[in-house]
Amino acid sequence: MGSELIYRGHESQPVTDEYSPKPMKPWLTVIRPIRYLLREQRLIFVFVGIAIATLFFAVLPSSRSPYPAVDYNNGNGHNHKHIYNAISSSESFLPTESGGAHRFSFQQNRGGIGSFSSGGKIPLGLKRKGLRIVVTGGAGFVGSHLVDRLIQRGDSVIVVDNFFTGRKENVMHHFGNPRFELIRHDVVEPLLLEVDQIYHLACPASPVHYKHNPVKTIKTNVVGTLNMLGLAKRVGARFLLTSTSEVYGDPLQHPQVETYWGNVNPIGVRSCYDEGKRTAETLTMDYHRGAGVEVRIARIFNTYGPRMCIDDGRVVSNFVAQALRKEPMTVYGDGKQTRSFQYVSDLVEGLMRLMEGEHVGPFNLGNPGEFTMLELAQVVQETIDPNAKIVFRPNTEDDPHKRKPDINKAKDLLGWEPKVPLRKGLPMMVTDFRQRIFGDHKEDGGSTTSTSTV
């Protein structure tokens, strides 16, 4: 008979596999981190590290500032302090970031044509970030030169143009560049883009073109400007409107300052352009005051240069084309009307300085050197053909008698003034016209502007 080993007193106790740890004491969660810090002098090392970091960041900016301030005299006896740097010596002025995605200040260009001054180098690790910029009318005369400068500066550029006056040839040299895009689009229709800045140049600017379809012209100025201002509001972009000296009409004040309200015929044949631009300025300021859009307004005076349309009816292009073709130069009226002529590179620099500056405007951008039409014809004769003839025709309707900008505001607030005199800039335009008129297209030629005016 087998025996049984009986453990008495344990039969009634349940058997379980669960483990019940000893409950934690609540004060241990506070004591353990303190013990860890006090052990092996860890707390001392923490305070020493904080002190070293504070000293490093306090001393570093004062030892070497990456943005030196430079004083220069602007020619009016006023010294202005500008912050600048230069990315390369091949650009006349280059921006540096100073307080925002859109805020930049520029180095003054002290040279003439093709003369560029160089500043300090960008500190290691502080490379300028390129902006995404849309240029409406960017395939036109002024627009294409602006695109060249923006691409050269390192920005990504989207050109929007319906090619009514612009030409693909003006921007073809950028095809294949990953920072360049071209969109065939009419700004009268809405457009959705993500951009940092908007240069709004789109509008036919010569009388031949804007009189061709006056209703379309005023729609471009009003509806097109509304669409681009709406885009600026939606994406938080800075907006620059290229207005015109035509907002002064046939001025009763000479020279014209920005505070002058003008003398414009609201029902004349030029009103689609004159009043259209005045309305565009109104819309721009209303968006600025009412919706907080960052805006800039430039009033552009007569501009000339390569890629200008050969037969657009403007006086410089007319005279040059006629002299090259051995045709008489046509002077309308008595030839005593005055105009001021700026070279396109000067205008582009002014537009960029205005966009990157902190002042809304409006700013007159033009060359205050004043010429009568007869004097201009004589300069063209000297440049192209001393034997070129001059003929007179009846004056056109609402043609201003005097046009000369007062640019003191641009000098004082933007540090800008034109550098290229007419007798120096005109030969470069003549070279471009000669190549295009006589069929030599080795160099980039183009058409019209979306900004400069007669």
Residues forming the active site: 273
Rounded distance between C-alpha atoms, residue 146 and residue 352, angstroms: 8
Q: Distance between CA 450 and CA 277 in Å, rounded?
A: 12
Burial state string for 133-142 with b = 16 or more CB within 10 A and e = fewer than 16: bbbbbbbbbb
> Which pair of tokens denotes residue 40?
């092996």
The distance in angstroms from the start CA to the end CA of the chain is: 131
Alpha-carbon distances, residue 86 vs 79, 125, 260 (angstroms): 21, 15, 37
Report which secondary-structure segment, H or E, holds 423: helix 422-437
Task: List strands edge to edge, sheet with 363-365.
Answer: 180-184, 156-161, 132-136, 197-200, 238-244, 295-300, 363-365
DSSP one-letter code for 249:
B
Give how far the C-alpha of residue 362 lies from the chain's centroid of Cα atoms, to the nearest Å.
15
Beta strands in 231-302 (DSSP E): 238-244, 295-300
Tell me how far apart the alpha carbons of residues 282 and 275 are, in angstroms, rounded to a whole number: 10
Partners of 342 in the β-ladder: 303
Tell me how far apart the alpha carbons of residues 87 and 429 are, in angstroms, rounded to a whole number: 29
8-state DSSP, 15:
P
Closest Cα to residue 419, out of 66, 57, 68, 92?
A: 92
